[in-house]
Amino acid sequence: MASKELLNIDATQYQLTVDRMEDIKKPFLPMADKFKTYIEDINNVIKESEKEITPVTVAKAKRLKLDIAKVRTGTGKIKDTSKQGIIQEWNAIQKCHNMIVDVVKEKEVELDKIVKHFENQEVKRKYGLQISREQLLLPYEVQGFEALNLGEMQEAVFDNFLIGCKSAFEAKQAQAKKLEDDRIAKEKVDEEEKKKVAKENAKLKKDAAEAKAKQDKIDAKRKYELEKERAEAKVKQDKADAELKKANDAKEKLQKEATAKANAENKRKSDKEFADQAEFVKEEKEKARIKKEQESEEYQKKVAEYNVWKKSHEGKFDIELKEDGKMVLYKKVSEFVFE
């Protein structure tokens, strides 16, 4: 590719003369010539990559990428220097720049793919490892694959990790199996124990029934004997009660007769005493009447004596008449009682 072919621009498109267009392109010709020196090598590297990408191919592509980058940056500097002028010249300059840059960028992209081949392959490899290793860990119920960065692990590290996960899972499974076995064994023991207890309970129930039947028989016999004894005792007691009643009735009859006789005698005596008492009361009343008459005469006599005495001693005594009819005379040295 000739430099002029790379910068094949129609001057009339920008309303420029051919000479002016050539003047504008002139500063960029060295960059175009420099880029031309890399074209063959770039195309060769691209062809090699299409067959096989090797470390040597990557190195070549990297080197060429750096070289043509200088062409791109150099072209930018020329653009900045040449754009001083009118707008049309600037547009022509920009066009020259863009045409070269576009071609260079296109090649850079192609070369970058080659340069990053192994890098991309490594990313793919690590992603593939992540997926494949996740599949290996799935049976062991491992959680949080994203945080483990399985694709970044060294093979030996992952192998040890896988063994650890497997061991932990198997230990967990073994523990679960042991717990289940223990549960089943316990249920079996419990069932056997229930059967044993049920058998013992049945035997105890049977023994209790037999013992109860035996005891009922003994109790029935004892009850019969007690009722028989009570009946015989009742006959004896009734006979004794009849004899006692007969004796008591005879005794009571004698007591009643004796009581009636005593009551009759007491009544006779009481009647006699009452008659005697009535006679005594009658005699006493008569004596009292006679005495009262005698006392009345005596009393009148004493009143007369008192009046005589009072008159002779008037002013010398205080007189008090008692409720019982007594009259009391008070003096500092003596007392006269009038009855």
Handedness of CA 168, 174, 177, 183 (dihedral sign): negative
Rounded distance between C-alpha atoms, residue 137 and residue 150, angstroms: 10
CA distance 33 to 78: 14
Question: For 22-49, b where at least 16 C-beta lie within 10 A, e where not — what string?
Answer: eebbebbbebbebbeebeeebeebbebb
The H or E element that residue 337 is part of is strand 335-338
Helices (H), 138-154: 145-148
Please state the domain extents for the chain: 3-115, 309-339
- Asked if residue 75 lies in contact with residue 100, where contact means CB atoms within 8 angstroms, the answer is yes
Question: What is the CA angle 13-16-19, rounded to 5?
Answer: 125
**What is residue 15's predicted lDDT score, i.e. its pLDDT?**
86
| Residue partners of 328: CB distance under 8 A and separation at least 6 | 319, 320, 321, 322, 335, 336, 337, 338
Sign of CA dihedral 150, 151, 155, 156: negative
Phi-psi sector, 10: left (phi>0), alpha (psi -120 to 50), beta: beta
Q: Which of 35, 32, 28 is nearest to 3 (CA)?
A: 32
pLDDT tens-digit profile, the chain (339 residues):
555 678 888 888 888 898 988 888 888 989 888 999 999 999 999 999 999 999 999 999 999 999 999 999 999 988 888 777 656 667 777 888 888 888 888 888 888 878 877 677 777 887 888 788 778 877 887 776 665 777 778 888 878 878 888 888 888 889 988 899 989 998 988 888 888 888 888 888 888 888 888 888 888 888 888 888 888 888 889 888 888 988 888 889 899 988 888 888 888 888 888 888 888 888 898 888 888 877 777 767 776 776 776 677 666 666 655 555 566 666 645 554 555
Task: Give the Cα separation of 12 and 15 in Å (integer).
Answer: 5
pLDDT for residue 332: 47
CA distance 267 to 274: 10
